[in-house]
Amino acid sequence: MPQILTRNQQHGFLYEQVVAQVNQMIARNTLCVGDRLPSLRKMSKQLNVSIATVMQAYVQLEGQGLVETRPQSGFYIKSRPVAEPSLPKPTRPLPLPRRIQFGDDISSLFSLANVPGVIPLGVANPAHELLPSKGLTRALKKVASLRPVETMSYCYPPGDFGLRRQIAYRSMERGVNLGPDDFIITTGATEALSISLQAVARPGDAIAVESPTYFCLLQIIEHLGMMAVEISTDPDSGLCVDSLAQALDTVDIKAVISVANFNNPTGALIPDTNKKAILDILAKKQIPLIEDDIFGDLHFSQTRPHTFKAFDAEGLVLTCSSFSKTIAPGYRVGWVSPGRYFEPVLQLKQLVSSATASIPQLTIAEFLRSGLYERHLMRLRRAYREQLEQLRLAVAESFPKGTRLTRPQGGFVLWVQLPRGVDAMDLHADALKQHISVTPGTIFSATGKYRNFIRLCAGSPWDEKMADGVVRLGQLAQALTS
């Protein structure tokens, strides 16, 4: 709350003290971009100054570009002009098969990051405040009341028909017309990705991946005894078509894995023209593509981006996704549309788990059927967009000169390139000492690249604690530059 001002010349004119008070409130994130300033009358009472003094202060703040007036509405905090950071440079890895040796490194990295009280800038999970808990609870009560026997029974692969029908209905938004029998329900997206890869490749095979790529994909490749071939990417447009084509001509690649829509960690979106070109190349060689579309529903534009599946004329695409980033990560409900590989994927699913939990499937199916999902998604996209913009702005203001940032058009992850000399592992360790989690860039590469990169996440509501965490993280990064 603003402090009562006294007429003390040592602190300048009264209107200057009002300006200073507002600046402090902005710095502490008590007032954020878009917030309405207290009315002239209210502020004058709070500070014990005249309305004219407050008006003079607000006019000065407007002249400084900190606030703006809106007709018949008042004064509002304005977005501060910050120079748009440069994008990270396109990656240029050598496209050679590599064995991955993470071991327990990733588990160790995240074990401390999940401790309560740690500022969650490193873990790509949606905050519980953003999830539709009330709607899910109603759906759960309904299925428990109307379908008690089914909730207690095994739900064998390919999974609950009602859920598969709801997913199929929404496949039109992805640019493809599929039916319920084109889907297999899995225990999360990780299982979907794992059994898909096992269906198309064997131990020792080379698998093309984006560089950087989601570390869980690298863990799956490592666990299955396969090798990763890193392919160049652009921070905006994702997987490089020419680089993939060259790699396919020189390496015996058995499959490609891509996070085409809002890549993790870069947030890149592969344009439709590139998706078509990639599939044309793969079709000539009859090489399957596994796509992870877990962030696809979290687009910031008016229309959802197409999946690779939308351009798949030969059944070579295995599309995997889940509801972990949009509805409930704890429900562990994922799915795969395996195309021509349906039977081998189904057999692998039956081997991995003969049945998938019934209650989560039935609950999500009811939630989707109710129409609440679309309304929830609209709110969720808006929240992620605002949180990501706040995060980008805070990093641009607080991090060392020369820091580069991606410009995601969906999802909630941000890829940050730090100045040379800043070791992301050192920053990770220093940040944890201050109860801040970040994800070092090395785990997004099969060869330990990206030592001066970090991934930040905007899955939690932006508040003073998050803002303070970014400021302190920037100070730690600055200290490592010297």
> Model confidence over 108-117: pLDDT tens digits?
777 765 677 8
CA angle 353-126-158, nearest 5°? 25
Q: Does 166 share its domain with 152?
A: yes
d(CA 113, CA 122): 7
d(CA 7, CA 409): 50
Rounded average pLDDT over 151-168: 96
Return mean pLDDT, the chain. Answer: 92
Task: Give domain status of residue 475, yes or no.
Answer: yes
Rounded average pLDDT over 30-40: 86
CATH number of 468's domain: 3.90.1150.10
Residues 6+ apart with CB under 8 A from 440: 109, 424, 425, 427, 428, 451, 453, 454
Task: Give domain status of residue 41, yes or no.
Answer: yes
Q: Does 310 share its domain with 161?
A: yes
Burial profile 408-418: b = 16 or more Cβ within 10 angstroms, e = fewer: bbbbbbbbbbb
Instruction: Please report the pLDDT score of residue 226 as a whole number.
Output: 98
Q: Which of 159, 160, 201, 129 is nearest to 466 (CA)?
A: 129
Residues 6+ apart with CB under 8 A from 351: none
Q: Does 369 share its domain with 455?
A: no
Task: Encode pLDDT of 310-352 as tens digits.
Answer: 999 999 999 999 999 999 999 999 999 999 999 999 999 999 9
Lowest mean pLDDT among 18-22, 135-139, 359-363: 18-22
Predicted confidence (pLDDT) at residue 15 exceeds the cutoff of 90: no
Q: How do 253-258 and 289-292 pair as beta strands?
A: parallel
Six token digits for residue 28: 């502490």
Task: Give domain status of residue 288, yes or no.
Answer: yes
Task: Give domain status of residue 436, yes or no.
Answer: yes
Quickly state the pLDDT bin for 9 (edges 50, 70, 90): very low
The total number of structural domains in the chain stands at 3
Burial profile 136-153: b = 16 or more Cβ within 10 angstroms, e = fewer: beebbebbeeebeebbee
Instruction: Please report the pLDDT score of residue 371 as a whole number.
Output: 92
Q: In the sheet where 253-258 sits, what is the strand order?
A: 98-99, 227-231, 206-210, 253-258, 289-292, 317-322, 334-337, 184-186
Task: Give domain status of residue 455, yes or no.
Answer: yes
Q: Does 332 share its domain with 446?
A: no
Rounded average pLDDT over 394-414: 95
Task: Give domain status of residue 92, yes or no.
Answer: no
Q: How many CA atoms lie within 13 A of 30 on its CB side?
A: 11
Of 373, 390, 416, the position where a domain reaches its end is 373
Residue 299's alpha-carbon distances to 58, 217, 223, 342, in angstroms, are 37, 22, 31, 28
Rounded average pLDDT over 409-437: 96
Q: Does 368 share its domain with 405?
A: no
Is residue 211 packed enough to be buried (19+ CB in 10 Å), middle (13-18) or exposed (0-12)?
buried
Residue 216 and residue 107 in contact, taking contact as beta carbons nearer than 8 Å: no
d(CA 425, CA 453): 9
Decide: helix, strand or coil at residue 455.
strand
Task: Encode pLDDT of 118-131 as tens digits.
Answer: 999 998 999 999 99
Of 351, 373, 395, the position where a domain reaches its end is 373
pTM for the structure as a whole: 0.83
Rounded average pLDDT over 63-71: 83
Task: Give domain status of residue 1, yes or no.
Answer: no
Q: Does 170 share its domain with 192?
A: yes
Instruction: Please report the pLDDT score of residue 152 as a whole number.
Output: 92
Domain with 301, as residue range(s), is: 98-102+133-373
Of 14-28, 172-186, 202-216, which has the strongest mean pLDDT? 202-216
Q: Which of 79, 88, 85, 105 is nearest to 455 (CA)?
A: 88
Q: Does 195 share its domain with 139?
A: yes
Residue 375 and residue 326 in contact, taking contact as beta carbons nearer than 8 Å: no
Q: Does 386 share its domain with 352?
A: no
Of 310, 339, 373, the position where a domain reaches its end is 373
Q: Does 140 share its domain with 48?
A: no
d(CA 162, CA 1): 52
Decide: helix, strand or coil at residue 192.
helix
Q: Does 468 share its domain with 332?
A: no
Lowest mean pLDDT among 55-69, 380-394, 448-462: 55-69
Lowest mean pLDDT among 5-14, 259-268, 353-362, 409-418: 5-14
CATH number of 46's domain: 1.10.10.10
Q: Does 173 share its domain with 313?
A: yes
Task: Give domain status of residue 343, yes or no.
Answer: yes
CATH number of 344's domain: 3.40.640.10
d(CA 480, CA 424): 10
Q: Does 350 share its domain with 431?
A: no
Residue appearing with tokens 């570009």: 65
d(CA 17, CA 52): 14
